[in-house]
A and B are shown apart, each in its own frame.
Chain A
Amino acid sequence: MARPRLAVLKLASCSGCQLELLNAEATLLDLVSAVDLASFPMARSRLEEGPFDVVLVEGAVVSHREEAALEQARRVAGLLVAVGACATWGGLVTWRRLAGETAFAAAYPHPELVPAGAIRAVGDAVPVDLAVGGCPADRRELLEAVGCLLVGRAPELRSGPICVECRSREVACRLVSYGEPCLGPITRAGCDALCPSLGRPCNGCRGPADDPNGPGLAEAFRRARIDAEPDSLGPWAVELMKSQSRRSCVGGDGP
């Protein structure tokens, strides 16, 4: 039986998510024997043409160039997976919208050359079969998701908040015990409460949990007199604090 063909497409990103695949050293050779890495520019010299069984997309759309590449990928992809915060909801580049054009005018001699309007998440440009969030996407989750897709099963990604993991790991609550502006209550679990377990509040890199209530959390911060201007809480907080309903962070359109 021919190995399933996998491609990796990078849009505007830091390459951290695809590096997660190469950081799975222990399983990398198994992966290579199970899957044909037909187009993976970071690791391979020869890049094959589609069709591909699975295309992993990292990064956000910031111009027509990525949009065209993405549309092409969609045409040749059996299943298309948005990987990481940038791909699943825009991630870092959305700061462009939040920072305001004045800041941009100050920082760039020709801001008009970098149009702001094009900034989009992968799922806002083409239909997505699965979205695996995180900055970076967690490789266990990523490999599990790819594995499931290849055997035709829908992966079960966690949907509840980080708080659940703090409880099960018996990590002291950053919010209640330390009075810190922790975004764990509205952030999707799956990292085993990494930051809270290492002495800092969650900064929301994994995107919203199911049914998040950002404004409610902001109110809780206010009541607890926690100084929490969203833009001081990390790269994702501003978007995250606005989220108040289910977003397609997990599951996407579903295979």
Chain B
Amino acid sequence: MKARRIRVEPLTRVEGEGSLDIVATRGHIKALRLNIFEPPRLFQGFLVGRPWSAVPDLVARICGICPMAHVITSVQALEDALGVVPSPATVTLRRLLALGGWIQSHALHVFLLAGPDFLGCDDAVEAAGRHPDWVQRGLALKRLGNDVVVAVGGREVHPVTAVVGGFTAAPDGAGLEALARRLEEAIEPAVETVGEVAGFRRPALDRATTHAALVDAGSYAVNTGRWTTTGGLRVTAREYRKAVEEVQVPHSNALHSRLREGGGSFAVGPLPRLNLNAGRLGPEARAALEESGLRLPSFNPFDSIVVRAVELVEALAGAARCCRELAGQPDLARAVRPVEAPTRDGWGASLTEAPRGTLYHAYELDREGRVATADITPPTAQNLRHMELDLWAHLPPLLAEGQERLTRQAEMVIRSYDPCISCATHFLKLRLVEAAADEETALHA
């Protein structure tokens, strides 16, 4: 029997490198594996023994695209462990920092990474020639998100001001007002973008599956809330590890997340977030969503580009509201000044919504306040299994259509998750080396 082996390598326009192996026989997929080539950096190893104060700077370096998410999540988990309660102004400033991250990440994805696929361009460089307005708008929105991050955190990559208990510095009122105005002005072009991407022809890919995201009372969940699935599960950050386990599945060399109860895979990210939080969108994004005609709940990963555009509107409007609120605070620097934290033992956990989905950090500290264990699960690690199953469902009818189209479609499925491979694989590293020896056999089995 003739088995066709297809290799898509390396997957470009995702951060980090991955490859996809498919073994197909007569229109059926026999084996499919998403491979990750991410050199191990061993975070879990060097976090152990470090004082808690050193943790946020270290974990920021897990990912250069969403360092703010790792910083905020680690800070919240450490505060949980140390019994530190941040001020309300700190909570709002953290939300602003996180939303800045959403804006830059979503703008990068919608306009420069995924958008070119739908515009029939090879990549953003080609799109810059054929659709200069599109690329310019994307760059301007991305800059705006970055400017939010810089205003709060000091710089785009690895911001410096967010620490356990608060912030070491805060933007001034005039700067916040100016930023609010720019954010408000950007809502209109972002709403237009929703209309445009809603018009993109998106392949259908629907399979029964589970979505999960934080859900919070009152607002679109960012840094707080309960982790909720479309299957009805609801857990706190402290309960997350009881609900989700990491396992090694036979056909893959990566750690996959699955629900302990029932063992099913699940997806996190913008699409699950909107499915579970549509009722909590602000008025601007709600109107844009209605205009888009997108029907919820949707389990089609190709809809993610529309959802990211909707979330871009939500993040711009939400960030503007944070700026206005904080600008009214008499002495913001003082209001966010770090709360003194004790040196003691403890265990704490935090869940936040990073641009790509739920991010989990948990730390156990010893009596000197040093890390005894660290448990970090980024969104892409949770999505890996789900991505493979989507590919498994989507690709068979395309097997006969030739390598090029197949490659492109596979890339589009994977890209719809905006996989931050460099981030997800920090926790897959051991398996990566271990599986190298049986790689061939696993695939030809």
- A residues engaging B (CB < 8 A)? 10-20, 22-23, 25-26, 28-29, 32, 37, 41-47, 59, 62-63, 65-66, 92-93, 95-96, 98-100, 103-104, 106-111, 113-114, 135-136, 194-195, 197-200, 203, 205, 229, 231-235
Contacts and interface: CB of A to CB of B under 8 A. Distances in A.
Nearest to A95: B46
B48 A11 contact: no
B155 to A, nearest CB: 6
B139 A199 contact: no
Contact of A96 (B45, B54, B124, B154): B45
Contacts of A197: 169
Nearest to B423: A14
Interface in B7-52: 10, 12-17, 37-42, 44-46, 48-51
Nearest to B43: A92
A114 B40 contact: yes
B336 to A, nearest CB: 10
Given A25-B142, A25-B143, A43-B124, A232 B53 contact: yes
Lowest 3 CB-CB distances: which A-B pairs, in order? A16-B64, A95-B46, A199-B168
Interface in B61-76: 61-65, 67
A107 B48 contact: yes
B430 A14 contact: no
Given A14-B64, A23-B156, A32 B125 contact: yes
Contact of A194 (B49, B62, B155, B422): B155
Contacts of B161: 198-200
A200 B53 CA distance: 13
B122 interface: yes
B364 to A, nearest CB: 12
Interface of B: 10, 12-17, 37-42, 44-46, 48-51, 53-54, 57-58, 61-65, 67, 108, 112, 122-125, 128, 135-136, 139-140, 142-143, 146, 154-158, 160-161, 163, 168-169, 422-423, 429-430, 433-434
A14 B422 contact: yes
B383 to A, nearest CB: 18
Contact of A15 (B13, B16, B51): B16
B168 A46 contact: no
B44 A15 contact: no
A198 B146 contact: no
A135 B57 CA distance: 11
Contacts of A205: 158
Contacts of B53: 232
Given A41-B17, A43-B124, A104 B54 contact: no
A114 B135 contact: no
A37 B125 contact: yes
Given A92-B41, A113-B430, A203-B57, A231 B50 contact: yes
Contact of B63 (A15, A108, A113): A15
Q: Identify which of A63, A93, A195, A198 gathers the most chain B CB atoms within 10 Å of its CB.
A: A198
A186 B227 CA distance: 45
Given A17-B64, A110-B430, A29 B128 contact: yes
Contacts of B41: 12-13, 62, 92-93
A195 to B, nearest CB: 5
Given A194-B160, A233-B54, 16 more contacts: A13-B64, A15-B63, A16-B65, A17-B157, A22-B108, A32-B125, A44-B123, A46-B122, A62-B40, A99-B46, A100-B49, A103-B45, A113-B433, A136-B64, A232-B54, A235-B61
26 contacts: A12-B40, A13-B64, A14-B423, A15-B16, A16-B67, A19-B156, A25-B140, A25-B143, A29-B135, A29-B139, A32-B128, A42-B15, A45-B123, A46-B123, A59-B39, A62-B41, A92-B58, A95-B45, A99-B45, A99-B46, A114-B40, A114-B429, A200-B168, A205-B158, A232-B53, A235-B61
B39 A45 contact: no
A45 B12 contact: yes
A198 B160 contact: yes
A13 B426 CA distance: 10
A44 B146 contact: no
A83 B422 CA distance: 17
A108 B430 contact: yes
B33 to A, nearest CB: 18
B433 A114 contact: yes
Contact of B64 (A15, A45, A111): A15
A198 B64 CA distance: 20
